[in-house]
Amino acid sequence: MATMLQKSRNKAKKDSSIRNPQVVRTNYTSKTVSIPRSFLSPLRDPSIIEVNQIDFANTPLPQYKGLYAVVLDNVLSQSECDELIHMAEQSAGGHDPSEPMENNGWKPAMVNAGRNHEFLALDYRNSDRIIWDNEEIMNRLWKRITQVKEMKDYFSVMEGEKYGSIVGDCLVMQDGRWVIAPKGPNERMRFLKYGAGQFFRPHCDGTYETPDGQQRSFFTLHLYLNDSAQALGIKEPMFGFRKGKKADGEEEMLRGGATTFHSMDKKKRLDVDPKAGRVLIFQQSRLYHSGDDVTAGIKYTVRSDLMYQFEAEKEDGE
């Protein structure tokens, strides 16, 4: 009886925390990390990057026809992905033998409440996270992506009706254009680590605006840092480096964890499966998506934004 009563109290406490989340002010700082000069250097042969724009009209989600999402494969190698995870953990204080840190600095991911405030909502977002602000890493990544001419041409300048679904009709009517910020992506990298049973429920990404109001985001950039079994077409159990751990210490390959685009009623879906070195870029407006449940292993990914600034059209003679 006492056990049942305690369970009831625990459930009531959990339900209360969901209804009334505790909003806290957050401020993220990172430790200095040594970044090798050769890390994420330009590719000798950028043609190895495979570009696949999602044609929503010919998917289970035709209602997203005309919206933009693109998948780039082979942007990073597996060894570069592993090194990036290690550096992210170092930025959070991990791998320091003089000051051991629990979980190498990974902490539960929180939900943005605006104005540097966040709250924990494990029924909606359940994963671990490291936030690392590093302009150099993101700049190198963006330079590598834009070695692909198609990507440089598409993302450099947004003007006209072609970009209406991204910037909004009212912005299309303005006399001007949106130009990629000099730094390209937001320097804030959100490294995410999902274990079995963890997820990010369906949502649309919010835009980020710099404190001075001069720049804002229009696209989300996801970089996947390890392979999933489904991306490689592997059905049988598989074990190996950075692929989750069984009780005996053997490491199991990631299963699940796709970035899933949903119909608004969540009856239809389109999965982009994690694959080491794969980049997914998609517009932040109108694309309803989730981080699908991980069923085995561990998923590592990093998220950032593409930042733009508005350039007004100059009058004649200026």
Tens digit of each residue's pLDDT (9 = 90 or more) over 14-27: 444 445 679 999 88
Confidence of residue 100 (pLDDT cuts 50, 70, 90): confident
Distance from C-alpha of 93 to C-alpha of 29, rounded to nearest angstrom:
11
pLDDT at 318 over 70: no
Calculate the CA 281 to chain-centre distance. 9
Confidence of residue 53 (pLDDT cuts 50, 70, 90): very high
pLDDT of residue 170: 66
pLDDT of residue 250: 55
In the predicted model, what is the mean pLDDT of the chain? 88
Distance from C-alpha of 72 to C-alpha of 151, rounded to nearest angstrom:
10
Q: Token digits for 192? A: 């995410």
Distance from C-alpha of 308 to C-alpha of 216, rounded to nearest angstrom:
5
pLDDT at 76 over 50: yes
Tens digit of each residue's pLDDT (9 = 90 or more) over 272-284: 999 999 999 999 9
**Strand order from edge to edge, sheet including 117-119:** 23-25, 117-119, 111-114
158 burial class (0-12, 13-18, 19+ CB within 10 angstroms)?
Answer: buried
Considering only 104-108, 203-207, 246-250, which range has the smallest mean pLDDT?
Answer: 246-250
pLDDT of residue 138: 97
pLDDT at 8 over 70: no
pLDDT average, residue stretch 288-300? 96
Its pTM stands at: 0.88
Q: Which of 34-43, 167-176, 241-250 has the highest mean pLDDT?
A: 34-43
pLDDT of residue 315: 52
Percent of the chain scoring above 70 in pLDDT: 86
